[in-house]
Amino acid sequence: MKATSKRLFLLVEPSDHESGHESGRDLAAADAPIAWLDPDSGARGAGPLATLPAARELWLALPSARVLLTEVALSRRALRRLGGALANALEDQLMADPAQVHAVIADGTGASDGHTPVAAVDRAWLRALLERYAGLGLHPAGALPACLLTRRPDDAWAVTWTTAGGDARTGANAGFGLDADGDATTPPAALRLALADARRRGNPPARVVVDAGAEAFDAEAWTAALDLPVTAETLAIDPAVPTLNLLRGDFAPRGAGAARLRGLAHYRLAAGLAAVALAAHVGASVLDWARLSAERKQLRADMTQTFRQVFPQAAVVDPVLQMRRQLADLRRTRGLPDAGDFLPMLAAAGLVDGIASQLDYENGRLSWRLGAAGAELGDTLERTRLTLAEQGYRLRVESDPQAGVTLILERATP
C-alpha cells in the first residue's frame, strides 16, 4: 500500500483563477487534469481529481503574479497587533484599497535588519477560489505563491522558466512571477528589473540558477544580459515546511475544531483592542501618515498610467526606473547622449575645480582624484555639489590622508 504524503501541492493554473468560480475549467471533469507536487518524495504529475495522491494536508500553489511578497519595517509584534488591519501597513505598495486585501506575516524571526516578510492577495479572488475547491470536496490547509515551491541555493536566486512565463525565488519568503516576455537569449524584464533593484540596495545574488526544463536556454546569453553568472540546473522541490501560509485569519481552515475557533476569536478581540489603543496613542501622526500614503499611492498610480500610455507593450514593475531606462534607450537610438553616458558626465565633472588624475568610468559612475589639493576646495566644492544636484547628479567625496580627495559622480536616484 502506497504511503500517504504529509503535504500535497495543487498548482492553480491561470485558467483556473482568472474567472473565479463562475467559469473556467471544470476541475471535476475527467478530462481536466490537475497538476500536483509531492515535496516529500519530489514526485510531480497531473491527473483528474479522482486520481490525486493521498495526503494528510492539501495546499494550493497560487500563481505568483497574484501574490505580493514584500517586507515591512515593523517588528513582528507590532504587525500582529494590527490583526485584520495588517494590509494598512502595505498601503504604499498596493494598487488596491487595503480593505480589499488579505495579508499575513510569515512564521519565524524575520530578517536581521528588522524587516518582517509579509504576503498579500486580493481577498475576493481568494475567497472565490476556495469556494470553488470546496465545491469539489477539497478543503486546503494552506496556500502560498508558486515561486516559493522551489529549493533555492543559499547564494543564488532560483528561477523556473519557460517561454510561457515562470517564477523566481529570491529569499526564504521572497519572490515574484515572470511574464512571457523573455526567450532563450533574453531574460524576462521582471528579472532584470528585480536584479537592478537588488544592486541598488546592495544585496544582489552571487548567481542565478535557471531550470528551463525542456526549453531551449542559452545560459551564456543570460549571463551577458544580467552581468551575473547564470547556470542551468534542475531545481528540486523545497521539502521544508512552509513558513508562509495565506490561509490564516478569515481564511483559516474551518475543520480545526471548536476550540481553535474560540481561540481565534479571542485573538481577534485582543488584536482589535491593541489596534484601538495604538491608534489612540499615535493620534495625529497616524492621520498625517495616512494622508502622505494616499498622496504617494495616487502619485504612483499616475506614474503607472503615464508609463502605460507611453509604452503600452511593456509590463509595469517600477514605472520611475522603467521610464528612465526607456527614455535613455530612445536617446541612444536617435544618437542623443544620456545624462549617464561618459561625455555628459565628463562635462558635468568640469564644474569641479582642480586637476584630475586616475579618471574612471563604469556603468554611469565617474570617479577621479584631485590629490591633496582637493582638501582646499572647501565651500567651492559644496556649491558645486548643489549645482550638480540641480542637473540630476550626486557628487560624493571620499578623503584619504595618503591618496588625497576622490570625487565620485553618479546619477541621482529619484
Tens digit of each residue's pLDDT (9 = 90 or more) over 344-372: 777 777 767 666 667 788 877 888 777 65
Percentage with pLDDT > 70 across the chain: 76
Strand partners, 398: 406
pLDDT at 90: 63
Query: What's the average model confidence in pLDDT over 289-314?
Result: 81
- Enumerate domains of the chain plus CATH numbers: 1-148+242-278 (3.30.420.380), 342-411 (3.30.1360)
pLDDT at 354: 66
Q: What pLDDT band is residue 234 in, cutting at 50, 70 and 90?
A: very high
User: Residue 78 above 70 pLDDT?
Assistant: no
pLDDT at 289: 80
User: Residue 375 above 50 pLDDT?
Assistant: yes
Q: What pLDDT band is residue 23 in, cutting at 50, 70 and 90?
A: very low
User: Residue 59 above 90 pLDDT?
Assistant: yes
User: Residue 298 above 80 pLDDT?
Assistant: yes
User: Residue 95 above 70 pLDDT?
Assistant: no
Please, what is the average pLDDT of the chain?
A: 79
Query: What's the average model confidence in pLDDT over 275-289?
Result: 78
User: Residue 287 above 70 pLDDT?
Assistant: yes
Q: What pLDDT band is residue 168 in, cutting at 50, 70 and 90?
A: very high
